[in-house]
Structure 1
Amino acid sequence: MGTAEFERDGSLVTVVLDGQPQSAVDVDDPTRLDFEYVQHFALAIDALAGDGPLRVTHIGGAGLTLARWLNHARDGSPQIVLEPDAVLTDAVRRELPLPRGHRIRVRPVDGLTGVAALRDASADVIVLDAYAAGQVPPELGTVEWFGELSRVLAPGGLVLANVADEPGMAYAARVAAGAREALGHVAFLGLHEVLKGKRFGNLVLVATAHPLDLYTLRRATASASLPTGVMGWDEILRRRPGATPFSEATGDTAPSPPPPARGAWRRR
């Protein structure tokens, strides 16, 4: 496990691990979401997850930014966070204390182990945001993995995954193919410049077992503070024809592409 650093800019604290920013937390305002993909997580939840408290499972914790937002936006939501780096969690709790009365429970286990121990249909929303050395581990992008998430997901539930990729979406399309095979319906949410392949960046995979309400999702993106778009499965296939799932069964797995150096995100 890497050593966490906490970069402060007023009330905003960025958690940096292995040289990569992991989370940005405003200690005074849990509604401030500085990372683009975290804003997209929140947008998808608000647009598609109904009203009121939600049972949420997070795979990957870091600074617990989204968990803090959910604690504020969906008061009373019970949340489980699977974060194997107990040293990081202790540092975050010390440097960025959680609010009183929260229902956030962090378990010091990896995603595979933690999800295997969860009950069937126990989560309304599953958020996958797990990275090691700046890359999504290969075991968290397979069709078998999404099948296990499907088991834990309650009827009508929502899986959201932070998927980083290079222009061309070769990796992201294969992850989406696995999620579609396991769950049924998928789309990507992201900045226009990332969806159009202008630079390396983060896409949020949205996956459900029921038809996705792309109309409502697109309406929500139209009023987003960032230039955000939605890419449905048909468009993903047009971008990457014949995209097939990663699979543990065949030994065909891969991590996400390594990120560029900090400050060099845009393709030249």
Structure 2
Amino acid sequence: MPDVDRSRAWLLTVDGAPQSYVDLDAPTYLEFEYAQRLAHVLDTADDQDGPDHRDRRPLDVIHLGGGALTLPRYVAATRPGSRQDVVEADRGLLELVAERLPLPPESGITVHGADARQWLEEAAPDSADVMIADVFGGSRVPAHLTSVAYARAADRVLRAGGRYAANLADGAPFAFLRSQLATFAEVFEEIALIAEPAVLRGRRFGNAVLVASHEPIDVRSLSRRTAADVFPARVQDGPALRRFIGDARPVHDEQAVASPEPPDGAFSIG
């Protein structure tokens, strides 16, 4: 059962694992490293990559997975006028967030209580500039959100040049992460991976952000931003990423499985 603390800064946990952190007085503050990396993808989603948020144009963004709406609040603050759709299957969670963490007026955020893939397959084509996938059933990415068919559904909804970014979790030997990279490389010409070096070297289980697009990804800008984080990350693309993928094959619906169960304590708090 989700629980939250009772202050202006809210930590949402599910089954003891932290899922979202929101500071209602500072919507641009992102506590978790994976959220910071997803924000870097959002911040570099166009050519307006200056330090002043006011220089950035509004975006049409789809968020698959809602949590406490941390990243939708971030986009609303950094790109005023953006139109955002949030898809979350856990209606109880949505009710809790609406009651305890209401959105600011005229946020431009619409919340949908629905399964992510079903909603995506019914969404208008060419309707999003960026799609953020952060969907976990407990602590695992559901199997039906890992296949080529799912990647094609995402591609159909993204505009030309749009970006897809997903928060994933895995550890050595990275069978799941490598298969996801192979799956999205089947649909998108350009892919990149953002992760801490310790995770990429197999020293620990952790989060990694997959980025996919039909247009070149601004790896230089992403690398500069992730290197400056409190916990620096590395951006891999091109030949290095192809070596990481190795002989992994794209996943189709009939072979799809959920992401691996995290080791005990991997994401626990307190």
The two structures have a TM-score, normalised by structure 2, of 0.91
Residue 15, structure 1, aligned to residue 12, structure 2: yes
Partner of 1:127: 132
- Amino acid in the other structure paired with 2:98: R
CA contact (8 A) 2:182 2:245 kept: no
Residue 198, structure 1, aligned to residue 196, structure 2: no
Partner of 1:115: 120
Q: Which SS does the other structure have where 1:183 is aligned?
A: coil
Shift of 1:183: 1.5
CA contact (8 A) 1:173 1:236 kept: no
Separation in structure 1 between the aligned mates of residue 205 and residue 252 of structure 2, nearest angstrom:
24
Partner of 2:256: 253
- Amino acid in the other structure paired with 1:198: R
Separation in structure 2 between the aligned mates of residue 211 and residue 203 of structure 1, nearest angstrom:
20
Partner of 1:188: 193
- Amino acid in the other structure paired with 1:4: P
Shift of 1:155: 1.0
Shift of 1:217: 2.1
CA contact (8 A) 1:55 1:125 kept: yes
CA contact (8 A) 2:162 2:214 kept: yes
The two structures have a TM-score, normalised by structure 1, of 0.92
Separation in structure 2 between the aligned mates of residue 29 and residue 130 of structure 1, nearest angstrom:
24
Shift of 1:233: 4.4
CA contact (8 A) 1:246 1:252 kept: yes
**Matched residues, percent identical?**
35
Q: Which SS does the other structure have where 1:97 is aligned?
A: coil
Q: Which SS does the other structure have where 2:57 is aligned?
A: coil
| Structure 2 unmatched runs, 5+ | 48-55
- Amino acid in the other structure paired with 1:31: T
Q: Which SS does the other structure have where 1:48 is aligned?
A: coil
Shift of 1:145: 0.6
Q: Alpha carbons of 1:143 and 1:233: their partners in 2 closer, same or farther (altered >3 Å)?
A: farther
Shift of 1:196: 2.3
Separation in structure 2 between the aligned mates of residue 149 and residue 263 of structure 1, nearest angstrom:
29
Shift of 1:264: 6.7
Separation in structure 1 between the aligned mates of residue 195 and residue 161 of structure 2, nearest angstrom:
23
Q: Which SS does the other structure have where 2:255 is aligned?
A: coil
Partner of 1:162: 167
Shift of 1:142: 0.8
Separation in structure 2 between the aligned mates of residue 115 and residue 261 of structure 1, nearest angstrom:
33
CA contact (8 A) 1:56 1:125 kept: yes
Separation in structure 1 between the aligned mates of residue 41 and residue 200 of structure 2, nearest angstrom:
16
Q: Which SS does the other structure have where 1:116 is aligned?
A: helix
Residue 210, structure 1, aligned to residue 215, structure 2: yes
Separation in structure 1 between the aligned mates of residue 238 and residue 142 of structure 2, nearest angstrom:
23
Count of residues paired in the alignment = 260
Matches within 5 A, 1:131-142: 131-142=136-147
Q: Which SS does the other structure have where 2:105 is aligned?
A: coil
Separation in structure 1 between the aligned mates of residue 228 and residue 38 of structure 2, nearest angstrom:
15
- Amino acid in the other structure paired with 1:216: S
Q: 2:231 aligns with which of 226, 235, 241?
A: 226
Residue 94, structure 1, aligned to residue 99, structure 2: yes
**Larger CA deviation: 184-193 vs 145-154:** 184-193
Shift of 1:246: 0.9
| Structure 1 unmatched runs, 5+ | none
Partner of 2:2: 4
Q: Alpha carbons of 1:134 and 1:141: their partners in 2 closer, same or farther (altered >3 Å)?
A: same
Q: 1:62 aligns with which of 42, 59, 67?
A: 67
Shift of 1:45: 1.5
Q: Alpha carbons of 1:74 and 1:94: their partners in 2 closer, same or farther (altered >3 Å)?
A: same
Q: What are the Cα deviations for residues 126-167 of structure 1, in whole angstroms up to 9, with x where unaligned?
A: 000001021000111111110110000011111000111012
CA contact (8 A) 2:179 2:249 kept: yes
CA contact (8 A) 2:38 2:165 kept: yes
Separation in structure 2 between the aligned mates of residue 78 and residue 180 of structure 1, nearest angstrom:
28
Shift of 1:235: 2.0
Shift of 1:21: 1.5
CA contact (8 A) 1:170 1:240 kept: no
Partner of 1:26: 23
Shift of 1:82: 0.7
